[in-house]
Structure 1
Amino acid sequence: MIPDVAIAEIRVHLPAVADEVVAAIIAEVPSYDDAFSGPMGETIRTAVQIALGGFLSLAGGSQGDDPRTPAAPAVEGAYQLGRGEARSGRTTDALLSAYRIGARVSWREMSMHAVQSGLSAETLVSFAELVFAYIDELSAASVAGHTDELATSGRVRQRLLERISHHLLTGSPQETVRSAAERAGWPVPTTLTAVILTESQVRPVLAEVSPQTLQAEGPGLDDAALLLVPDAHGRRRAALLRTLRDRGAVAGPARPWLEARASYERALRTRTLGLDGDTDTHLVQLVLTSDGDALADLRAQVLAPLAELRPAVVEKLTETLRAWLLHQGRREGVAEALFVHPQTVRYRMGQLRELYGDRLDDPETVLALTVALGAPER
């Protein structure tokens, strides 16, 4: 323990020591310049003085505790300081720098007064050990507070952001969605684009897109992740698609942000069809498969003339008819698409005309056949 006479000598100078600590921190840690100005500066000076006073009480053995261990109030104060620093946006680097400077200056000033009070060299060495052990305990408490605050605030903000995406995807009233965005401090974009991708691709994609991107849980989406990317419309869509290339992701259309659900539903339908990439490149198939039962009935209806033929013949004539429709009757184009000789196309189309008769020249029949056969049967 430190002799009472030395403790008393140092205690007299504590206000000056606290001022020296604060001045050194301001001079050496630029991010604390504003923090120590005005009323906050006086509060911190008082806190420094109280912490040093608590140390002196421990060092003098007045509380009967290990002098290397700060008392509970000092630890709690350091913990709350760490939380406050996190809320102020300062890092633990700045905080630990302040502690190191505080330890150095405190030791310099207090040891000077201790020597003046007649403290022996041996006791002075022990005193130094106590000072730095005490500061280490306080800095550890502050780091814990800083870490806990970031974790807590991060979880709270994440929950608020999740509420936004939940409201967007479940059709909540617009005022509810706007209120959720305001509570989360989320800057409202012009558009949102739904992106469905595997969980393993979420982090790489998030590193490339807007930091305001929402991570969401899409209704009916069990084995993949959903991102709602802000303002990826116009020229920015190309950048998003480049980011998603070769990731097996599906990008819905950009929609006004309050209509993000429409983007998600199209992306989900595209994925359900086994497709990926840009949904804009799959519009025909999306339209043709919007009502699967109706499409199946239409196929059966327009292909009824082939019903009595053998399956192998039906398959060949159906693919020929589809190619003929898509190539607008150009025999060479049909032959190239089917990898057959033009004469084969001529023969097959002769069979089809016998089966359909004049209906192949009827615009309504051609339209029905085009819709029914416009996309390959899945």
Structure 2
Amino acid sequence: MASPVDLRVLLQEHVDELADAVLERVRAGEGPHGAPDAATLRNLRLGARAAVDCFLARLAGERTAAEVDLFVAHGRAQQAAGRTLTELLSFYRLGGLAMWERSTALLPPSTQLPAHETFAFGSAVLELVDELSVAAAEGFTAGEAEARRRSRALRERLVSLLLSDRPAAPEALALAARAAGWTLPARVRVAVGALPADPLPTGAGPGPARVLAATVSDGREALVVADGEEAEQWLGRAATALGLEAPLAIGPAVAPADSARSAARAIALLDHVGAGAVGAAGDVVRCDDHEIALLLGAAPDLAREVAGRRLAPLSALDDAARERMVATLAAWLADPGRPQAMADRLGLHVQTIRYRLKALRELLGDALDDPDERFELSLALRVQSPAPPPAS
């Protein structure tokens, strides 16, 4: 009856055959990425030979640790090749099975191992496969972490170029986008939302890969996405993943080099919402829907001066009379020259409207009939109150 040392001696003459058996089994068990490529097979051959040597040493009772650096490197290489951790571990599982089967097949027919030695033989294979699998998985996950860090750094560089106050050259943006694996579209939208006051729970995801994110100012996060029918959907998903507080302000569609302008517009809209100058009925506010408010907000002092000058004739009235005149003026601007429509809008008798119009003309003169002056009056009402004049 052969002893464990004899088993080593018997199998030592077949080291290459055992390594080849490992490769054949791995090659036969193709994963979703297909058969291993030439580089993978070379690495597997080195690893198989090292594993066989370690296995035979353990059969001889030498409890030396496996040379794990080779298998850590193999795990990194497989991650870089785009394989999954499941595929990687299947290589080792199949290799261990092949080593067991070929070893038992190589034993002479006269070699009869007692049950405890058979179990010890199998245990040595499983123990080694487990040890090497752990090393390879360590390399794989380390490679993944490095890849994520590189990807994050490249995406951060790209979004910093996009949101820079000084527009980057198109060539620089194109290069940065290619390096980050992000398709540079013809037009983008930038959304801005407030970061959560409390930290996100551990495990919160970064959001859709097609959305770039960067912290801007005052605890706010900017999101950049390709403009299109699904732009708001992707921005909403990214905002949810990052836990941004509602509302999310969405800037206008611009060329990528003008992303900073879209971001600045969205930030301004959030400021208007915070000040109560713009209402936010839902989770999203759009700059496209509040262009006049943003226009007036760009020069607030001038807007207030225009409003003060145009509405100065009403300042001498008491509060109740001034409120009536402002309501009548807003109705006139919405339906100029249509007293009945004004009456319907305000819920008054048409004669009351005609009486008020007479009083309003005495205060404002020909301004009610001049298009340019009506425009200034409309802007003045918008400055005076966040709510826009009644729409027709």
Which TM class, normalised by the smaller chain length? Answer: 0.7 to 0.9
Q: Quick one: structure 1 residues 241 and 154, their matched pair in 2 at CA, closer, same or farther if it must change by over 3 Å?
A: closer
Q: Contact 2:311 / 2:380 at 8 angstroms: preserved in 1? A: no
Instruction: Render the CA deviation track for 1:64-99: whole Å, top value 9, x for unaligned.
Output: 54xxxx42x2x2222111111111111011112111
SS in 2 for 1:253: coil
Could you tell me which runs of 5 or more consecutive residues in structure 2 were left unpaired when the two chains were aligned: 274-279, 387-392
Q: Quick one: structure 1 residues 242 and 151, their matched pair in 2 at CA, closer, same or farther if it must change by over 3 Å?
A: closer
How far apart in 1 are the matches of 2:234 and 2:98? 53
Q: Which amino acid letter does the alignment assign opposite residue 187 of structure 2?
A: T
Deviation of 1:130 (Å) = 1.5
For residue 50 of structure 1, what is the aligned residue in structure 2? 50
How far apart in 1 are the matches of 2:134 and 2:205? 33
Deviation of 1:363 (Å) = 4.3
How far apart in 1 are the matches of 2:134 and 2:347? 75
Whether 1:229 aligns to 2:225 is yes
Whether 1:195 aligns to 2:187 is no
For residue 390 of structure 2, what is the aligned residue in structure 1? none
Deviation of 1:237 (Å) = 5.5
SS in 1 for 2:252: strand
1:325-364 alignment to 2 at 5 Å? 325-364=333-372
Of 136, 141, 152, the match for 2:135? 141
Instruction: Render the CA deviation track for 1:196-231: whole Å, top value 9, x for unaligned.
Output: 245589x89945xxx43211223x351x4321002x
Higher helix proportion = 1
Of 165, 168, 183, the match for 2:162? 168
Deviation of 1:176 (Å) = 4.3
For residue 316 of structure 2, what is the aligned residue in structure 1? 308
Q: Quick one: structure 1 residues 122 and 367, their matched pair in 2 at CA, closer, same or farther if it must change by over 3 Å?
A: closer
For residue 285 of structure 1, what is the aligned residue in structure 2? 293
Of 367, 370, 374, the match for 1:366? 374
For residue 159 of structure 1, what is the aligned residue in structure 2? 153
Q: Contact 1:7 / 1:60 at 8 angstroms: preserved in 2? A: yes
How far apart in 1 are the matches of 2:13 and 2:205? 58
Q: Which amino acid letter does the alignment assign opposite residue 35 of structure 1?
A: P
Deviation of 1:348 (Å) = 2.2
4+ residue runs of structure 1 moved beyond 4 angstroms? 31-34, 114-119, 198-201, 203-207, 235-247
Instruction: Render the CA deviation track for 1:123-178: whole Å, top value 9, x for unaligned.
Output: 22112112101101111221222112112111211111111111221234325444
Q: Quick one: structure 1 residues 205 and 18, their matched pair in 2 at CA, closer, same or farther if it must change by over 3 Å?
A: closer
How far apart in 1 are the matches of 2:5 and 2:206? 63
Q: Which amino acid letter does the alignment assign opposite residue 49 of structure 2?
A: Q
Q: Contact 1:15 / 1:49 at 8 angstroms: preserved in 2? A: yes
Deviation of 1:7 (Å) = 0.9
How far apart in 2 are the matches of 1:178 and 1:53? 51
Whether 1:77 aligns to 2:85 is no
For residue 8 of structure 1, what is the aligned residue in structure 2? 9
How far apart in 2 are the matches of 1:120 and 1:177? 70
For residue 212 of structure 1, what is the aligned residue in structure 2? 210
Q: Which amino acid letter does the alignment assign opposite residue 161 of structure 1?
A: R
Deviation of 1:122 (Å) = 2.0
Q: Which amino acid letter does the alignment assign opposite residue 184 of structure 1?
A: A
Q: Which amino acid letter does the alignment assign opposite residue 228 of structure 1?
A: V
Q: Quick one: structure 1 residues 183 and 359, their matched pair in 2 at CA, closer, same or farther if it must change by over 3 Å?
A: closer
Q: Which stretch shows the higher mean deviation, 179-188 or 10-19?
A: 179-188
Deviation of 1:8 (Å) = 1.9
How far apart in 1 are the matches of 2:149 and 2:232? 32
Q: Quick one: structure 1 residues 12 and 241, their matched pair in 2 at CA, closer, same or farther if it must change by over 3 Å?
A: closer
Instruction: Render the CA deviation track for 1:21-47: whole Å, top value 9, x for unaligned.
Output: 11111111245754243x552342132
SS in 2 for 1:373: helix
For residue 107 of structure 1, what is the aligned residue in structure 2? 100
Per the normalisation by structure 1, the TM-score is 0.84
Q: Which amino acid letter does the alignment assign opposite residue 356 of structure 1?
A: L
Q: Contact 1:6 / 1:119 at 8 angstroms: preserved in 2? A: no
For residue 253 of structure 2, what is the aligned residue in structure 1? 254
Q: Which amino acid letter does the alignment assign opposite residue 145 of structure 1?
A: G
Q: Contact 1:250 / 1:271 at 8 angstroms: preserved in 2? A: yes
For residue 84 of structure 2, what is the aligned residue in structure 1? 91
Q: Contact 2:223 / 2:235 at 8 angstroms: preserved in 1? A: no
How far apart in 2 are the matches of 1:204 and 1:121? 51
Q: Quick one: structure 1 residues 137 and 279, their matched pair in 2 at CA, closer, same or farther if it must change by over 3 Å?
A: same
SS in 2 for 1:249: strand
SS in 1 for 2:213: strand
Could you tell me which runs of 5 or more consecutive residues in structure 1 were left unpaired when the two chains were aligned: none
SS in 2 for 1:227: strand
SS in 2 for 1:273: helix
Per the normalisation by structure 2, the TM-score is 0.82
Q: Quick one: structure 1 residues 32 and 316, their matched pair in 2 at CA, closer, same or farther if it must change by over 3 Å?
A: closer
Q: Contact 1:7 / 1:114 at 8 angstroms: preserved in 2? A: no
